[in-house]
Structure 1
Amino acid sequence: MAVVFQWLVRLAVVLIVLAVLGVGMTYYLASRSLPDYDATLKVSGLAAETEIVRDNANVPHILAQNDADAFFALGFVHAQDRLWQMMMLRRTAQGRLSEVFGTATVETDSFIRRLDIYRLAVQSVSVQTPQTITALEAYSAGVNARIAQINQEALGRGAPEFFVFPMALAPWQPADSIAIGKLMALRLSGQLDAEVLRARMSLALPDQDRLIDILPDAPGAGVGALPEYAALVPNAPRYAAMPVQQINPLSPFGPEVFAGASNAWAADASRSASGGTLLANDPHLGFSAPGIWYLARLNLQAGGVIGATIPGMPTVLTGRSDALGWGVTSAYVDDQDLFIEELNPDNQMQYRTPDGWKEFETRKSIVTIKDADPITLTLHWTDNGPVLPGTFKNIGAVTPTGHVTALSWTVLTPNDTTMSAAIGLMSAQNVAEAINASELVVAPAQNLTLADQDTIAMKTVGAVPRRDAAHQSKGRMPSLGYVATNRWQGVMSFASNPGFIAPLGGILGNTNNKMVERPFPNHISYRWGDTQRVQRWQRLMQARQVHTRDSFIEAQLDTVSATARTLLPLIGAELWFTGEAAADGTVERQRQRALTLLADWNGEMNEHLPEPLIYAAWLRALQDRMVRDDIGPLADALTHIEPLFIERAFRDVGGASVWCDVHQSAPVETCPDMARLALDDALLWIGETYGTQLESLRWGDAHQAVQDHPVLGNVPVLRYFVNIRQSTSGGDNTLQRGLTRGGPGADAFENVHGAGYRGVYDFADPDSSVFIEATGQSGHFLSRHYDDMAQLWRRGEYIPMSLDQGLARAASVGITKLEPVTP
Structure 2
Amino acid sequence: MSKLAKFIAGISFTLIVLLIAVIILSYKLVTRSHPQIDGELKSHLLIDSVYIYRDEYGIPHIFAKNEHDLYFALGYVTAQDRLWQMDLSRRIAAGRLSEIFGVDALEVDKLFRTLSLNETAKKMQKYLSEKSIEILKSYSDGVNYFIQTHKGNYPIEFKLLKYEPEEWSITDCLLITRLIAWQLNFAWLTEPVFSEILSKVGEEKFRKIVPQYPENAPLIIKKYVPPSSKFVEANMRFREMFGMLSDGLGSNSWVVSGEKSASGKPMLANDPHLPHSLPSIWYQVHLNNGGLDVVGVCIPGTPGIVIGRNNYIAWGLTNVMLDDTDFYIEKIDSSGTKYLYNGKWVQLTEREEEINVRGKGKYKFKVLSTHRGPIISDVYNFSFTGYARDLDSKYIPSQAVSMQWTGNLISDEVLAFYKINRAKNWEEFKEGLKFFTVPAQNFIYADIYGNIGYYCAGKIPVRKNLNPLLLNPGETSDFDWVDFVPFNLQPNLLNPPENFIATANNKTVPDNYPYYISYLWEPESRAMRINEFLSSKGKLSIDDFKSLQLDYFSHYARELTPYIIRAFENIDVKESLVKEGLDYLKRWNYNFSRDDIATTIFNAFLVEMMKNTFEDELGQGLYKKFVFYSGIPLRVLKQLITENDTLWFDDVRTKNKIETRDEIIRESFLKSMFDLKKQLGDDILTWHWGKVHKLELVHPLGLRKPLDKIFNLGPFEIGGAGTTVNNAGFSLLKPFNCVLGPSMRQIVNFSENLLYSVIPAGASGQIMSQFYDNQTRLYLNGEYVKIEMRLESLKNKKTTKILKIVPQE
Counterpart secondary structure, 2:326: strand
Structure 2 counterparts to residues 342-357 of structure 1, below 5 A:
342-345=331-334, 347-357=335-345
Once the two structures are TM-superposed, the CA of residue 244 in structure 1 deviates from its matched residue by 10
Residue 234 (structure 1) aligns with: none
Matched, 1:613 2:600: yes
The 3 A distance-change label for structure 1 pair 355 and 581 is: closer
Once the two structures are TM-superposed, the CA of residue 457 in structure 1 deviates from its matched residue by 0.8
Residue 440 (structure 1) aligns with: 435
Matched, 1:456 2:452: yes
| TM-score, normalised by the number of residues in structure 1 | 0.91
Q: Distance in 2 between matches of 1:186 and 1:697?
A: 38
Matched, 1:812 2:802: no
Q: Distance in 2 between matches of 1:249 and 1:213?
A: 29
Once the two structures are TM-superposed, the CA of residue 329 in structure 1 deviates from its matched residue by 0.4
Is contact 1:336-1:409 (8 Å) kept? yes
Residue 688 (structure 1) aligns with: 678
Residue 235 (structure 1) aligns with: none
Is contact 1:187-1:254 (8 Å) kept? no
Residue 756 (structure 1) aligns with: 743
| TM-score, normalised by the number of residues in structure 2 | 0.92
The alignment yields a C-alpha RMSD, in angstroms, of 2.6
Once the two structures are TM-superposed, the CA of residue 296 in structure 1 deviates from its matched residue by 0.5
The 3 A distance-change label for structure 1 pair 643 and 722 is: closer
Q: Distance in 2 between matches of 1:256 and 1:706?
A: 13
Match of 2:759 among 773, 785, 799: 773
Match of 1:428 among 423, 427, 445: 423
1:353-379 alpha-carbon deviations (Å, 9 max, x no partner): 114112211111110011112111211
Residue 232 (structure 1) aligns with: none
1:60-97 alpha-carbon deviations (Å, 9 max, x no partner): 11111112211111111101111110111111122111
Is contact 1:329-1:512 (8 Å) kept? yes
Residue 379 (structure 1) aligns with: 367
Residue 405 (structure 1) aligns with: 401
Residue 120 (structure 2) aligns with: 120
1:799-819 alpha-carbon deviations (Å, 9 max, x no partner): 113211222231434111111
Q: Distance in 1 between matches of 2:710 and 2:41?
A: 35
Q: Distance in 2 between matches of 1:380 and 1:668?
A: 48
What is the letter of the counterpart of residue 622 of structure 1?
Answer: M
Once the two structures are TM-superposed, the CA of residue 145 in structure 1 deviates from its matched residue by 1.2
What is the letter of the counterpart of residue 769 of structure 2?
Answer: S
Q: Distance in 1 between matches of 2:259 and 2:634?
A: 35
Q: Distance in 1 between matches of 2:572 and 2:460?
A: 59
Residue 719 (structure 1) aligns with: 709
Match of 1:476 among 445, 463, 469: 469
Matched, 1:274 2:260: no
Q: Share of identical aligned residues, percent? A: 26
Residue 651 (structure 1) aligns with: 642
Residue 250 (structure 2) aligns with: 261
Counterpart secondary structure, 2:461: coil
Is contact 1:187-1:252 (8 Å) kept? no
What is the letter of the counterpart of residue 804 of structure 1?
Answer: R
Q: Distance in 1 between matches of 2:235 and 2:87?
A: 26
Once the two structures are TM-superposed, the CA of residue 673 in structure 1 deviates from its matched residue by 2.0
What is the letter of the counterpart of residue 292 of structure 2?
Answer: G
Once the two structures are TM-superposed, the CA of residue 138 in structure 1 deviates from its matched residue by 1.0
Q: Distance in 1 between matches of 2:740 and 2:243?
A: 14
Is contact 2:697-2:712 (8 Å) kept? no
Q: Distance in 2 between matches of 1:355 and 1:301?
A: 61
Once the two structures are TM-superposed, the CA of residue 770 in structure 1 deviates from its matched residue by 0.9
* Gap regions ≥5 residues in structure 1: 228-238, 583-587
1:106-159 alpha-carbon deviations (Å, 9 max, x no partner): 1111111111212221221232233222211111111111112212xx4x2x21
Residue 391 (structure 2) aligns with: none
Residue 693 (structure 2) aligns with: 703
Q: Distance in 2 between matches of 1:261 and 1:430?
A: 28
What is the letter of the counterpart of residue 531 of structure 2?
Answer: Q
Is contact 1:702-1:750 (8 Å) kept? yes
Once the two structures are TM-superposed, the CA of residue 224 in structure 1 deviates from its matched residue by 1.2
Q: Distance in 2 between matches of 1:201 and 1:266?
A: 40
1:367-392 alpha-carbon deviations (Å, 9 max, x no partner): 00111121112111111101113543
Residue 200 (structure 1) aligns with: 196
Q: Distance in 2 between matches of 1:243 and 1:422?
A: 34
Q: Distance in 2 between matches of 1:106 and 1:547?
A: 52
1:515-556 alpha-carbon deviations (Å, 9 max, x no partner): 113469711112213322111111111111232222122111
Q: Distance in 2 between matches of 1:369 and 1:44?
A: 38
Is contact 1:99-1:368 (8 Å) kept? yes
Q: Distance in 1 between matches of 2:696 and 2:142?
A: 32
Residue 97 (structure 2) aligns with: 97
Match of 2:486 among 454, 471, 493: 493
Q: Distance in 1 between matches of 2:235 and 2:292?
A: 47
Is contact 2:701-2:708 (8 Å) kept? no
Is contact 1:226-1:506 (8 Å) kept? no
Q: Distance in 1 between matches of 2:551 and 2:255?
A: 16
Counterpart secondary structure, 1:440: coil
Match of 1:790 among 768, 776, 793: 776
The 3 A distance-change label for structure 1 pair 581 and 629 is: closer
Q: Distance in 2 between matches of 1:651 and 1:722?
A: 42
Residue 651 (structure 2) aligns with: 662
Q: More displaced, 269-278 or 559-568?
A: 269-278
Is contact 2:222-2:510 (8 Å) kept? no
Counterpart secondary structure, 1:466: strand
Is contact 2:373-2:403 (8 Å) kept? yes
Is contact 2:680-2:687 (8 Å) kept? yes
What is the letter of the counterpart of residue 452 of structure 1?
Answer: D
Matched, 1:216 2:202: no
Q: Distance in 2 between matches of 1:337 and 1:718?
A: 39
What is the letter of the counterpart of residue 176 of structure 2?
Answer: I
* Gap regions ≥5 residues in structure 2: 224-228, 387-395
The 3 A distance-change label for structure 1 pair 397 and 33 is: farther
Q: Distance in 1 between matches of 2:560 and 2:195?
A: 28
Q: Distance in 2 between matches of 1:12 and 1:110?
A: 52
The 3 A distance-change label for structure 1 pair 431 and 251 is: farther
Residue 58 (structure 2) aligns with: 58
Once the two structures are TM-superposed, the CA of residue 451 in structure 1 deviates from its matched residue by 0.7
Counterpart secondary structure, 1:552: helix
The 3 A distance-change label for structure 1 pair 300 and 493 is: farther
Is contact 1:250-1:711 (8 Å) kept? no
What is the letter of the counterpart of residue 82 of structure 2?
Answer: R
Once the two structures are TM-superposed, the CA of residue 610 in structure 1 deviates from its matched residue by 1.5
Counterpart secondary structure, 1:712: helix
The 3 A distance-change label for structure 1 pair 649 and 581 is: closer
Once the two structures are TM-superposed, the CA of residue 6 in structure 1 deviates from its matched residue by 9.0
Counterpart secondary structure, 2:293: strand
Matched, 1:286 2:275: yes
Q: Distance in 2 between matches of 1:693 and 1:636?
A: 32
The 3 A distance-change label for structure 1 pair 300 and 333 is: farther
What is the letter of the counterpart of residue 308 of structure 2?
Answer: G
Q: Distance in 2 between matches of 1:698 and 1:820?
A: 59
Matched, 1:317 2:321: no
Q: More displaced, 60-69 or 519-528?
A: 519-528
Counterpart secondary structure, 1:752: strand
Is contact 2:567-2:663 (8 Å) kept? no
Q: Distance in 2 between matches of 1:337 and 1:562?
A: 32
Match of 1:362 among 338, 343, 350: 350
Q: More displaced, 712-721 or 788-797?
A: 712-721
Q: Distance in 2 between matches of 1:18 and 1:420?
A: 56
Is contact 2:794-2:800 (8 Å) kept? no
Is contact 1:225-1:509 (8 Å) kept? no
Once the two structures are TM-superposed, the CA of residue 252 in structure 1 deviates from its matched residue by 7.0
Q: More displaced, 485-494 or 750-759?
A: 485-494
Q: Distance in 1 between matches of 2:674 and 2:210?
A: 29
Match of 1:505 among 498, 504, 514: 498
Q: Distance in 2 between matches of 1:180 and 1:581?
A: 56
The 3 A distance-change label for structure 1 pair 284 and 423 is: same
